[in-house]
Each structure stands twice: as C-alpha cells, then as structure tokens.
Amino acid sequence: MIKGVIFDMDGVLVDSEEYICRAGIEMFREKGLSVSPEDFKPFTGMGENRYLGGVAEKYGFPFDVEKDKGRTYEIYKEIVHGRLKALPGVFDFMEKCRSLGYKMAIASSADEIKVRTNLEEIGLQTSLFDAIINGQQVERKKPFPDIFIKAAGEIKLRPEQCLVIEDAVSGVKAAKDAGCRCLALTTSFDKDQLREADWIAKDLSQAPDECLNW
C-alpha cells in the first residue's frame, strides 16, 4: 500500500534542463571546447558529475570535477534567477499527497546547491518535504537504485511502499530496481523510452488517479 511519494526534481518539479545545459556549454566554451545540447542528452538524470564529465570524456577533454562543476553552477545560478517556474500540476499534486497523509521526499541526482537553488526559484519550501536527498549523498548515481532506497529509508518506509516520480530513463530504471512503483513524465524522454514505468503522463497535472491509490 502506498504511503510515500519520492520526487525527482529536474523534469518533475521544474524544467531546468535547458539552463544547466546552457551553463555546461558556456563552461566548456570558457575552457576552449565547443559542445552542443545533444552531447549532454545521454547523461540526463545522472547527476552533474556524469552530465558534465560524460561530455568531457566523449571529446577526450580534461575535466576537473570540483572546479568545472563549481564554475558551471556559478553560471547556472545567474541564468536561472527569475526564470524558473514549477511545472504544471506540481502544487496541486503535492496538496493531494498531503491530504492523503503521504510522506514526501525529493531524490535528485543533482548536487545540493542546484536542488536548493531550484526549490527557492519555484517557491517550494524545503519544510514541505520529509526528506531531501541529493546526489552528493550517494556514491552510485542513477541508474543505480541507491538514492531511492536511501530516500525511502529517510522517510521510514520500505521502497515498495513508495511511488517514485521520474522523467529520465536512468531514473525509471533506478526506481524499479529499488522496488518502488514509478510514474514517468514525458518532459525529457518520449513514452516509448519510459515504458518500464508503471504509469506515464505528460506532467503532474495529468497524473492518473490510480498512481496515488494502490
């Protein structure tokens, strides 16, 4: 029986993919490498270490995880200020979860600085969630299930009592391997790529009722 909902962040609560991609492109440009948005696509949902590092690896380009990621976040914060909005249905869906008495958590592969920046920009208080897990708190990132297992534990539930809401192929796999049920949103990938999920919707405003009643 469902007792908790675990939200991914990017592509679920907010669509910041365009902006972190732009920040990554600018960071690499400053270092002398020209890359395109398509270069980042295979690494979506895997956390910024892999999101940026995978592109550097593709081109055999030097990559300093802490320094280059830090610069990317500096650029990102400048770009997103005043621009981010919650995706359709986020506030209503969360209110429904609250009315049903479900615990709520965030499990994002992004670093803490990005998670908190995004929540602040879209007006979601951290106090709304029973736990917030970021990518720095797990060694193995999605598609490994570790972050969802940890999130379930933090809200004192078993994974099989939790619904995970994801938008990335790697995230859906992680959720299912953790033993959770999964609602996939087609904000980043098409439904054929997300078919491993239990339910698929365009965004939270179109989430089927049954995903919160099982």
CATH of the domain at 36: 1.10.150
177 is catalytic: no
If asked whether residues 63 and 105 sit together in one domain, one would say no
If asked whether residues 9 and 46 sit together in one domain, one would say no
Q: Is the pLDDT of residue 45 over 90?
A: no
Q: What is the dihedral of CA 65, 167, 89, 137, to 10 degrees?
A: -40
**Of the residues 8, 167, 198, 203, which is catalytic?**
8
Q: Give the per-residue pLDDT at 44.
A: 86
Based on the number of CB atoms within 10 Å of its own CB, is 96 exposed (0-12), middle (13-18) or buried (19 or more)? middle
Under the banding of pLDDT at 50, 70 and 90, the label for residue 47 is confident
If asked whether residues 68 and 136 sit together in one domain, one would say no
| Residue 56, CB-side half-sphere exposure with 13 Å CA sphere | 19
If asked whether residues 94 and 66 sit together in one domain, one would say no
pTM score of the predicted model: 0.88
If asked whether residues 56 and 92 sit together in one domain, one would say no
Domain boundary among 33, 59, 80: 80
Q: Is the pLDDT of residue 13 over 90?
A: yes
User: What's the number of domains the chain is made of?
Assistant: 2
15 is catalytic: no
If asked whether residues 61 and 122 sit together in one domain, one would say no
If asked whether residues 131 and 202 sit together in one domain, one would say yes
If asked whether residues 202 and 172 sit together in one domain, one would say yes
If asked whether residues 99 and 167 sit together in one domain, one would say yes
Q: Give the per-residue pLDDT at 39.
A: 97
The 10s digit of each residue's pLDDT in 97-133 is 999 999 999 999 988 999 999 999 999 999 999 999 9
If asked whether residues 119 and 201 sit together in one domain, one would say yes
Sheet (strand 131-133) strand order: 131-133, 103-107, 4-7, 162-166, 181-185, 199-201
Q: What is the CATH number of the domain that holds 166?
A: 3.40.50.1000
What mean pLDDT comes out for the span 180-208?
97
Q: What is the dihedral of CA 151, 154, 155, 161, to 10 degrees?
A: 50
How distant, in Å, are the alpha carbons of 14, 83, 143, 199 from that of 194?
19, 28, 13, 9
Range of the domain at 53: 17-80
Under the banding of pLDDT at 50, 70 and 90, the label for residue 205 is very high
If asked whether residues 137 and 155 sit together in one domain, one would say yes
Domain boundary among 80, 105, 134: 80
